[in-house]
Amino acid sequence: MIEVVKQGFSLPKLDVRTLPGPGTILRRELPNGIVVLARENFSSPSVVISGYLRVGSLGESRSRAGLAHIATLALMRGTKERSFQQIFESIESIGAHLSVSAGTHSTIFHGKALAEDLSLLFELLADVLRYPVFPESQIERLKAEQLTALAIRDQNTGARARLAFDDLAYPNHPYCLPPGGYQDTVTDFSAADLRDFHHQSFGPLGMVIAVVGSVAVEEAAAAVANSLSDWRNPQQPVQPELPPIRQPSGLLRRVVHLPGKSQCDIVLGTPGPSRFDDDYMAAALGNSILGRFGMYGRIGDAVRESAGLAYYAYSTLGGGLGPGPWQVIAGVNPTAVEQVIELIRAEIKHLVTQRVTKGELIDNQANFIGRLPLQLETNEGVAGALIHVERYALGMDYYHRYPELVRSVTRDQVIQAARRFLDPDRLAIAIAGSMSEDKE
């Protein structure tokens, strides 16, 4: 293959002084374990709060799957001091926003208000996190809503393929359980179950809060302390360690029959690197080349553009606290399933047997560096960035170092990272849709 390298092309040069860094970020840990991160932006009249608590669905068994999800949804349905209606009237009366949701490792919250209403926003956040009462009528309503969502999920080809993939790629592992649970588990939850879960699991240890916007950093830290510094929970457990994960032993395959569907969804891949892995950046660039950049990278070109066999086809890299999936997702006509799988495997083989071209690497490095200022142009973006560096222990100077971290990745590092996690002959392959026969 003849490789053409762009003459005189250079990667974007950023003025890192404009990016969040040690000189503009306040980091303070309260005596009860809460970490506060704050950055000022007086060009905006608003303030954003974002963060997480160290509680999620990670410790759930199959019979209790979905408990954290329902409990977290119920936090804003009534507290000792405020009814469901009063909570939302308080939020809406100041034109603010506040939400709480649960994931596998964490409970995540987001809020936004005018700077003058920051104290009220924190008052509401502290109230729903610390003093929910889980009213019976609201719990039954939430369960009904979740059961409807699960019934829709059970008929969705993409969702069913993802569930089947998780079963194959993460056998006997917490990642094989969906945070939203199952219809039989959600039906059994009582208000007492949710109260017990909250009492035992919610607490300040490991909690992180970012405050970004039109408020002085010391004032932001004081607002957090005023609302949450006296929170204690001696029972708060340590999250369980993740068990080891093995790569698939071969081509593991599962078909989920959904009669009458005109489309099949394919989810194909393996467990990938965590965000802490030394190979993460090289894997992220490799994933972008494989199925993200431009019209969804090599996979988009091979499967969708050249062969015309997919409605969509792209790759994703999880890269969270644990070994999230490195997978390819495609929506296809049922008659094209086998051909698309083989085309995807061919592109994976290409990635792990031949170094990416210099042009591909430069294009993707330029994309990674050039899009950073756009990701940080809003208060929400900066708050998310502060949470990211704290969650993964990247250091407050991470965004100052980021361009060089991206620039320093080599073609050899990309192929080495891909070889660690991807093997075209060792994949979990899940298919959901209307298929003629089941091939387990």
- How far is it, in rounded angstroms, from Cα 163 to Cα 107? 21
- Can you tell me which residue has the tokens 């008929």? 155
pLDDT for residue 10: 77
Cα separation, 383 vs 371, whole angstroms: 17
Q: Per-residue pLDDT tens for 186-216?
A: 999 999 999 999 999 999 999 999 999 999 9
Distance, CA of 71 to CA of 53 (rounded, Å): 14
The amino acid present at 211, given as its one-letter code, is: V
Q: Which of 316, 228, 260 is nearest to 433 (CA)?
A: 260
* pLDDT value, residue 9: 63
The parts of the chain modelled with pLDDT lower than 50 are 1-5, 438-440
| 199 vs 163: CA distance, rounded Å | 30
Residue 352 confidence (pLDDT): 98
Identify the H or E element spanning 118. Answer: helix 118-130
Q: Residue 328 CA to chain centroid, in angstroms?
A: 16
> Letter for the amino acid at 379?
N
pLDDT of residue 438: 43
| Domains of the chain and any CATH numbers | 21-228 (3.30.830.10), 251-433 (3.30.830.10)
Structure tokens, 179:
């945070």
Cα dist. 277→166, 352, 419 in Å?
21, 18, 14
Give the closest residue to 189 by CA, choosing from 271, 297, 71, 269. 71
pLDDT at 272: 98
CA dihedral 272, 274, 276, 280 (to 10 degrees): 30
Contact 56, 237 (CB under 8 A): no
Nearest to 58 by CA among 73, 43, 69: 69
331: its two tokens: 């929506």
With helix as H, strand as E and coil as C, how does 71-99 read? HHHHHHHEECCCEHHHHHHHHHHCCCEEE
List strand residue ranges (DSSP E) for 138-288, in order: 208-213, 251-257, 264-271
Residue 200: predicted pLDDT: 95
- Render the burial of 193-232: b for 16+ CB within 10 Å, e for the rest: bbbebbeebbbbbbbbbbbbbbbebeebbebbbebbeebe
Distance CA 192, CA 199 (A): 10
Do residues 348 and 317 touch, judged by C-beta distance below 8 A? Answer: no
Q: In angstroms, rounded to a whole number, what is the distance separating the alpha carbons of residues 60 and 277?
A: 26
Identify the three-state secondary structure at position 199.
helix
Contact 291, 315 (CB under 8 A): yes
Q: Which residues contact 3 (CB under 8 A, 6 or more apart)?
A: 357, 358, 359
